[in-house]
Structure 1
Amino acid sequence: MAKLNYHHLQYFHAIATHGSIAMAAKSMHITPQTLSAQLNLLEVQLGYSLFERKGKRLILNEMGHITLSYTQEIFSLGDELVHSLKNHSTDFSFRFSIGVTDVIAKVFSFNLLKSIYQMDNSIKLVCKETSLEVLLGELAVNKLDAVLSDTSLPTGASLKAYSHLIGKCGLSFFATKALATSLKDGFPKSLDGQPFFTAGEGSNQHLNVLSWFNELAISPKIIGEFDDSMLAKYFGKAGYGAFCAPTILENHVVDEFDVEVIGRTTDIVEHYYLISPERKVKHPAVQHLLAEGKRLFAKPMLLN
């Protein structure tokens, strides 16, 4: 395959942005015929069509979205090159984009991701937090280099990627000192009938905790379900009820929210995965995070 022509990518980007050859050609001050011919050359070189026609508009297809993602990254690097040369700078800003599922505690994300700056302080860290489904979609089109998740890549996923297990831990249960004093004895049976906060409905932790309660034949009084785990901790701190969190966060929860540990269990296990596409498995930042993650889990309950 011949080397890509930077101008062809500019033409393609203009069409993708404007949604039609006529509008893109007008913005670039060239004829629609010339622009159409340049797009055809790019598609022939790549071996794929990049758009689908819907009326007068051109809509990116799957290969078009992938090409657009790479094109934007190439243009970004080009802009950084020009900026560095204009400012006579030898600094190179290495960009690492990672998605974090919204159920991962922010304190864990921080303690893991801050190690990125140990690699090179010129690194630009870009972090997006949302659902795993959305993040995997962005991973597929090269908008992300990796995803930090509490679950592995779903079975049957079309994305060619690897789920690297960073570590796993049990759950710790917390309450204010006044409440914890009465709940420590006989834990976990002591939770029966007691006010309790859980993770949001549908989350792995929510389902696993309720299943564990069922196996123990106990029925804590669920008075709150929160997608944001911070809310559960704040309500627990205020004395409204007990709550749980991954054991690796234990010291942080005790110090930050002035609560005590009621008890722990390893019957429920929280997993942490770093999902990366095949082409990014050897990415230096991915390898660094894997090593740092294993270091964090080597000393459980010491995350602050």
Structure 2
Amino acid sequence: MTTNETLAQYSDWAFKSAFTVLVLAFVLLIVQYASARAKAVQDKELVSAGGVDASVPGRVAETPTKSLSERFGGMGRAVLVVGTVLIIASIVLRGFATERFPLGNMYEFVAMACAASLLVGHVLLIKPAYRPMWVFLLVPVLILMFLAGTVLYADAAPVVPALRSYWLPIHVTIVSVGSGIFMIGGIASLLFLLRLKFPPGDEGTSIGGRIAERLPDAQTLDRLAYKSTIIAFPLFGAGVILGAIWAEAAWGRFWGWDPKETMSFIAWVIYAAYLHARATSGWRETKAAWINIAGFVAMLFNLFIINMVVSGLHSYAGLN
């Protein structure tokens, strides 16, 4: 099995271009977020001052034009689509370059998780009420992509013999996609807690209040966190089960309490606790949100600390 260096180079260029384009989208969406807040303040002041009565006879009604916020928001979402397409293209090109499924190391895993988060985000955040969340979702995506392109980067190459199995595209794809969707839920729960602290109409002038002012209401954010976790939870659970089946075929046992296996199971249990708390009276709001955030932290711990610091049977999937 050889590596097509030309396609590998195109893959790297596509990944770097995706990062650059997503940074541009992030800047445009920040401008949109800030200008939307400024417009809301201006409209509030106009109403309190009496406003302008457009129904006065003889007054020529002005043709409505798109606000600065709408223009930057439209550009930001368009650029966001381009960035999503580019990161998917980088994954596909690396697969063709190496003649294998592109999930053989942490660089490729993180790229797949970020692509899944962006792709599912386009579906879950399509409603206008959810669109301000893109500013916050792009923060962890860009951080992960930066780490993937620097610290975690691995040259396109064949995988070690232990990964040359049909279980690779099944097990690792499901886990990476589930991890990417969990990212949406974790951010939604964080913003839910922020919204609870600064409810609509009572944001004040603090930094947290200014950030929360353009967010959806707390119930909307809570529903989004629940919806994304409901999608990711069975995917991640299926990935853990399929990993155990692969372990039995590769190592002769279903479960051996390897650090990666153990931490994945702990994360799955935390998310199960979140779903249970979400349906339990007295737990379904603040306490459930903190459990969901704990699950997200456990996923990040599993990705970085377990893969990069702790030695185990999954160490071959770390840095090359």
- Which bracket does the TM-score occupy, shorter chain normalised? under 0.3
Larger Rg: 1
TM-score using structure 2 length: 0.25
